[in-house]
C-alpha cells in the first residue's frame, strides 16, 4: 500500500522576534499560513528501509544520509513501537534553506503519511510529541492550518485563514542559513502582532528577520521591492528567514504577470493559492 501526503510550503505572513533566550533560541510571534502546493512525500511498507529523492531540488539534499524526513521516520517508529521498515520517497519541489519550511513540511508530511499507513489518527498526541523535538516549525506544519504561533513558534492557536487567495512565491535561488539570520537580529523587541482580521494583522505586522537576511543576501530586497510594486498586490514580504518572498494578490492574472516578470530574472517562482 502506497500513501502519498502533501508537504505544502509554509508562509510567515508576519514574524515578530520578541526575545533571545539564554540557550540561543528565540521567542517569536508569527502568523503561519500554507500554500496549496509544495513537496510530496510517499511512504510504503518495505523489506528494508530506504529513502529516495526526486524532483527539481533533490540535488540539494543528495548525499545527506540523515535529514528531517529520516529523523521523522525514526521518531515515528519510536513513538509507536513500530519495527516495520518503510520505503520513503521525497519529491523535492521547493528550494532548500528558503524560509518556507521545506524540511519541516517534509518531516510533518512523513509523520502524517506513516500515521495513515498504520491506521493512526491524525490527532494522536504521540504524533505531536514526535514532531516537536525535530524543529520549531514542525508543530505548525503538522497542524497545517493558518494559526498564530508563539513561544518558539510551537504554541499554536488556529485562526481564520484566506483560502483560495492567489499567492506567488519567489526565490532568487540563494540559500540563506537560518541560524545566521537569527544571530543577525538586532535584539530590539518592536512589539506584538496586532489583533484583527488576518490580512489586517499581517499588513500591520513585519518580518524582523528581513534586515539580517538582506544583509546576507541583498537580492532579497530586490525581490521584495518587485513584488510590493506589482499591480493587484495585497501583501508582499519575505517569509521566515528567507530568501523566499511571497505576495498575495487580488486576482490570478496579476499574480501570473508578476510571476512572469520574476521568471525573466532567473528567479524561482511558484504561482499557487493560499490553502
Rounded to the nearest 10 degrees, the angle between the axes of helix 68-80 and helix 102-117 is 30
User: Among residues 37, 91, 106, 137, which one is catalytic?
Assistant: 137
Determine if residue 219 is left, alpha or beta; phi over 0 gives left, psi from -120 to 50 gives alpha, anything else beta. alpha
| Residue pair 180/272 in contact by the 8 Å Cβ criterion | no
Annotation marks residue 137 as catalytic: yes
C-alpha cell at 253: 492574472
Q: Which residue has the cell 498564530?
A: 148
Distance CA 62, CA 54 (A): 10
| Residue pair 105/38 in contact by the 8 Å Cβ criterion | yes
Q: Nearest Cα to 101, choosing from 213, 262, 244, 209?
A: 244
Distance CA 114, CA 88 (A): 10
User: Among residues 10, 37, 106, 208, which one is catalytic?
Assistant: 10
Burial grade of 218 (CB within 10 A; 0-12, 13-18, 19 or more): exposed
Annotation marks residue 186 as catalytic: no
C-alpha cell at 108: 510533518
| DSSP character at residue 95 | P
| DSSP character at residue 188 | -
Q: State the catalytic residues.
A: 10, 137
Amino acid at each position: 500500500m502506497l500513501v502519498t501526503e502533501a508537504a505544502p510550503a509554509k508562509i510567515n505572513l508576519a514574524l515578530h522576534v520578541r526575545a533571545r533566550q539564554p540557550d540561543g533560541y528565540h521567542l517569536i510571534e508569527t502568523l503561519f499560513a500554507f500554500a496549496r502546493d509544495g513537496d510530496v512525500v510517499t511512504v510504503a511498507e518495505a523489506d528494508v528501509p530506504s529513502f529516495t529523492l526526486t524532483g527539481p531540488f533533490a540535488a540539494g539534499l543528495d548525499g545527506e544520509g540523515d535529514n528531517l524526513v529520516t529523523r521523522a521516520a525514526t521518531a515515528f517508529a519510536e513513538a509507536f513501537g513500530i519495527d516495520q521498515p518503510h520505503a520513503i520517497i521525497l519529491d523535492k519541489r521547493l528550494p532548500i534553506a528558503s524560509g518556507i519550511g521545506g524540511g519541516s513540511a517534509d518531516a510533518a508530511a512523513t509523520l502524517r503519511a506513516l500515521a495513515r499507513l498504520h491506521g493512526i489518527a491524525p490527532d494522536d498526541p504521540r504524533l505531536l510529541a514526535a514532531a516537536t523535538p525535530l524543529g520549531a516549525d514542525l508543530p505548525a506544519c503538522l497542524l497545517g492550518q493558518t494559526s498564530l504561533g508563539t513561544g518558539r513558534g510551537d504554541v499554536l492557536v488556529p485562526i481564520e485563514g484566506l483560502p483560495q487567495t492567489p499567492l506567488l512565491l519567489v526565490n532568487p535561488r540563494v540559500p540563506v542559513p537560518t541560524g545566521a539570520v537569527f544571530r543577525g537580529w538586532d535584539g530590539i523587541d518592536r512589539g506584538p502582532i496586532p489583533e484583527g482580521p488576518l490580512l489586517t494583522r499581517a499588513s500591520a505586522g513585519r518580518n524582523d528577520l528581513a534586515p539580517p537576511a538582506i544583509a546576507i543576501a541583498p537580492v532579497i530586497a530586490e525581490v521584495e521591492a518587485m513584488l510590493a510594486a506589482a499591480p493587484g498586490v495585497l501583501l508582499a514580504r519575505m517569509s521566515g528567514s528567507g530568501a523566499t518572498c511571497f505576495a498575495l494578490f487580488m486576482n490570478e492574472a496579476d499574480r501570473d504577470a508578476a510571476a512572469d516578470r520574476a521568471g525573466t530574472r532567473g528567479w524561482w517562482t511558484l504561482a499557487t493559492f493560499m490553502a
